[in-house]
Amino acid sequence: MNLLFLNLVQTELYKIFRKGRSYIGFGAIAFIVIVIQIALFVDGESYLELGTQSLKDSFTFQGNLLNGYLSVFIILSSLWVHIPFLIALVAGDLIAGEAAAGTLRILLIRPISRTQIIWAKFTAVLIYVLAIVVFMAALSIGTGLLIFGEGDLFVMKDMLYIFDSSDALWRILASFAFSFLSMSMVASLAFMLSAVVDSSLGPIIMTMSIIIVFMIVSSIDLSIFRAVKPFMFTTYMGAWREFFSDPVDWHKVNTAVVALVTHIFIFLGFTTWYFKRKDILT
Amino acid sequence: MNATPIIQTTQLSKQFDKFTAVNKLDLTIYQGDVYGFLGPNGAGKSTTIRMLMSLIFPSAGSISIFGKELKDNREHILSRIGAIIEKPDFYNYLTALQNLEMLNKLQSARLSKDKLYEILELVGLKGREKSKVKTFSQGMKQRLGFAQALMHNPDLIILDEPTNGLDPQGVKDVRDLILKLNKEQGKTILISSHILSEIEIICNRMIIIQKGSKVVEGSVNELLSFNELHVSFEFEDDTKAFAFIKQHDFLTKKFIEVVHSRYHFNLLSTEVAQINKLFLDHGFAVKSMIPVRSLEDYFLNMT
């Protein structure tokens, strides 16, 4: 990695963090996390009551069920569908936004290869995604533990799982790490569309549309949709939940990781190939 | 002198679907040239310049700059070129200085902050270094465009319609700067324009293109001396001027029309002083004399 590439990454990060739209994601996450935490603080007991109602005949619950870990799990479940839109807002603008503003020209007449420009921009957007995920993790875990304290985490999936508080934190951190991979895949999709389309809004809307359509298809349990599910990246984005099974289904996790990484490389590879040949007309 | 070609295109063509933007264009720019690239709007000037800067890839033909093929030596060649491509666009949310600092990081030889301030002063942006570009007029953006083009001390400067959006003082400043860069620092300069008079004043060689093809290329003096100027005269007292013109065969032959008391003639550049003297000798005080030569007129004479 040469110095010029590092400078390029630095300038791309500088551009990202000087734009107001880059902070929409942080603002939205902060707002939602705080609203959910306050709502759980005010009305969490009745929420738990509702969740455990059917189990009360068979189980007796003791201890701090409404704890920081449960609040983080609820936040993760609520937000993982919506964060892609916030990521697309920045990643989809990286090339198309510059093309629309005309600034791509002054960048491309510098003595830097187009491949380096693409990879530097993508590196910068990965750092942005990491910042978003770390911010979300730190804020939700921090506020959760501060407000509700520690406790065993109970998760109702296909069956009821109860994780000791000492066993819960690594699962939460692992699911955030997996979310980083999912969001990086979303970023690579938005970034690819950003290279193809010259309007600023186009790639953002297209990314959102693709994700919405894929998620709808993934959620409808029809045989025709079941056949295409393995080929849709949204199928693998929800694999963070596997960390809340006991034992963890590592085969599912690994398959999802391979699928997402493969998507990232395909999208980035196409972006590089396409952009190297693209006539800059704007 | 002028023996080393800096830019050479051979049969350069660019096709967009069925539209041919540039058609088998051969041009040669020598070291030390201030080379005018002329053509009406849509003639293919910007497409050619974009190909020279590798923003657009040729459909056919080749480009050699500094004696090397552009497609194989892109980064090396671009490190020696400074350019303004069409309108200068910058990151509006950054200041003029921040824009330059950012671009400075992408050069192999980095400049100090003091040097960046110097460049901004050179282009007339002293005092506005820390203003956001979104507050700049088109003329100020054009000046910042010059700053980014000159900041790495390039050997070749490519300017696509550089006086667009500038006020008369700005146009003069740009002309003076181009001549200074050429004469004092020996820079080779390619300047595109659709205004013939602009090229006539500052360029030593020029090419005219139309519909993507070369019409003519050569020395500005040689090319323009073959063609007549359109000159209008205004007299202190023109009551007898028309009769006087009709009495002289030479004047009658060169005379076109009278519009709002201005007498229009078609003259070779060598005839302008001669006709002026003729009027003065016969008691017609010339109040003003305005030469007008449009690109359109030039084309009409060429074809």
pLDDT of residue B219: 85
Indicate the SS3 state at residue A175.
helix
Phi, psi of B81 (to 5 degrees): -120, 140
Percent pLDDT > 70 in chain A is 94
Beta partners for B263? B233, B258
**Do residue B108 and residue A4 have CB atoms under 8 angstroms apart?**
yes
Contact criterion met (CB < 8 Å) for B55 and A280: yes
Tell me how far CA of residue A186 lies from CA of A20, A97, A240, in angstroms.
Answer: 21, 17, 15
Put simply, whether A63 touches B (Cβ < 8 Å) is: no
| B85 vs A: CB within 8 A | yes
Domain architecture of chain B: domains with CATH: 5-225 (3.40.50.300), 229-302 (3.30.70)
How remote is the C-alpha of B58 from its chain's centroid? 23
**Which candidate from B76, B87, B105 shows the least CB-CB separation from A11?**
B105
Q: Most A CBs within 10 Å: which of B86, B102, B134, as the mutation test of the A interface?
A: B102
| Peptide linkage before A247 cis (omega within 30 of 0) | yes
pLDDT tens-digit profile of B103-160?
998 887 788 889 999 999 988 888 898 999 999 988 888 889 989 999 988 999 999 9
Chain B contact probe: residue of A109, A115, A278 with most B CBs at under 10 A: A109
Tokens of B197: 């008079």
Query: Could you report the per-residue pLDDT of A72-122, keeping only the tens digit for each?
Result: 998 888 777 788 999 999 999 999 999 988 899 999 999 999 999 999 999
A280 CB neighbours in chain B (<8 A) are 50, 55-56
Contact predicate B162/B100, CB 8 Å: no
List the alpha helices (DSSP H) in chain A: 3-18, 22-52, 68-79, 83-91, 96-101, 103-108, 114-148, 165-196, 202-219, 223-228, 234-237, 250-277
- Residue A268: closest CA among A141, A142, A115, A46: A115
pLDDT at A46: 76
Average pLDDT over residues A218-224: 80
Which of chain A's residues have a Cβ under 8 Å away from the Cβ of B48? none
A245 class by beta-carbon count within 10 Å (0-12 exposed, 13-18 middle, 19+ buried)? middle
The shortest C-alpha distance from A115 to chain B (Å) reads 12
How would residue A45 be classed by pLDDT, with cut points 50, 70 and 90?
Answer: confident
- Residue of chain A nearest B79, judged by CA positions: A111
pLDDT at A54: 66
| Side-chain-side CA neighbours of residue A134 (13 Å) | 6
Q: Which of 166-185 (A) contact B at CB < 8 A?
A: none
User: What pLDDT, on the 0 to 100 scale, is given for residue B227?
Assistant: 65
Expressed in angstroms, the distance from the first to the final Cα of chain B is 32
Give CA–CA dist A168/A64, Å, rounded.
Answer: 14
Binary contact (B108, A7; C-beta < 8 A): no
How many whole angstroms separate alpha carbon B149 and alpha carbon B181? 12
Interface test with B, best of A17, A105, A112, A117 (most B CBs within 10 A): A105
| Per-residue pLDDT at A94 | 92
Q: Is A19 on the interface with B (CB under 8 A)?
A: yes
Given pLDDT bands bounded at 50, 70 and 90, which one contains residue A51? low
B293 CA to chain A: closest CA distance, Å? 32
Q: Which two three-digit tokens encode residue B61?
A: 């033909």
Q: Chain B within 8 Å of A10 (Cβ-Cβ)? A: yes
Q: Which residues of chain B have pLDDT under 70?
A: 1-2, 225-228, 293-303
Q: What is the pTM of this model?
A: 0.84
- Three-state secondary structure call for residue A154: strand
Report pLDDT for B41: 84
Model pLDDT, residue B295: 60
- Return the residue matching tokens 């349990």: A221
Cα distances from B290 to residues A170, A280, B138, B207, B267, in angstroms, run: 84, 42, 29, 25, 12
Using DSSP's 3-state secondary structure scheme, residue A82 falls into: coil
Q: Do A10 and B89 touch (CB under 8 A)?
A: no
Q: How far apart, in whole angstroms, are the C-alpha atoms of residue A18 and residue A97?
A: 14
Residue A66 makes CB contacts below 8 A (sequence gap 6+) with A40, A44, A45, A47, A48, A148, A151
C-alpha dihedral (A209, A215, A218, A224), degrees to nearest 10: -20
Contacts of A10 in chain B (CB under 8 A): 105
Q: In the 3-class helix/strand/coil scheme, how is chain B assigned residue by residue? A: CCCCEEEEEEEEEEEECCEEEEEEEEEEEECCCEEEEECCCCCCHHHHHHHHCCCCCCCEEEEEECCEEHHHCHHHHHCCEEEECCCCCCCCCCEHHHHHHHHHCCCCCCCCHHHHHHHHHHCCCCCCCCCEHHHCCHHHHHHHHHHHHHCCCCCEEEEECCCCCCCHHHHHHHHHHHHHHHHHHCCEEEEEECCHHHHHHHCCEEEEEECCEEEEEEEHHHHHHCCCEEEEEEECCCCCHHHHHHHCHHHHHHEEEEECCEEEEEECHHHHHHHHHHHHHCCCCEEEEEEECCHHHHHHHHC
Looking at this predicted complex, what is its ipTM?
0.79
Residue of B46, B99, B105, B132 to mutate, interface with A, max A Cβ within 10 Å: B105
pLDDT, position A60: 67
Question: Sheet of B286-292: strands edge to edge?
Answer: B255-259, B262-267, B229-235, B286-292
State the average pLDDT over residues A230-235: 85
B window 137-196, beta carbon within 8 A of A: 148
Q: What is residue A57's predicted lDDT score, i.e. its pLDDT?
A: 66
Minimal Cβ distance to B93: which of A19, A106, A277: A19
Taking CB atoms and an 8 Å limit, are A4 and B75 in contact across chains?
Answer: no
Question: Between chains, do B55 and A279 touch, taking CB under 8 Å as contact?
Answer: yes
pLDDT of residue B296: 61
* pLDDT recorded at residue A44: 72
Contact check, Cβ <8 Å, A281/B105: no
Domain boundaries, chain A: 3-277
Among chain A residues, CA nearest to B95: A18
Chain A hits for B56, CB-CB cut-off 8 Å, are 279-281
The whole-number pLDDT of residue A90 equals 92
A11 in contact with chain B, both atoms CB, cutoff 8 A = yes
Q: What pLDDT score does B225 carry?
A: 67
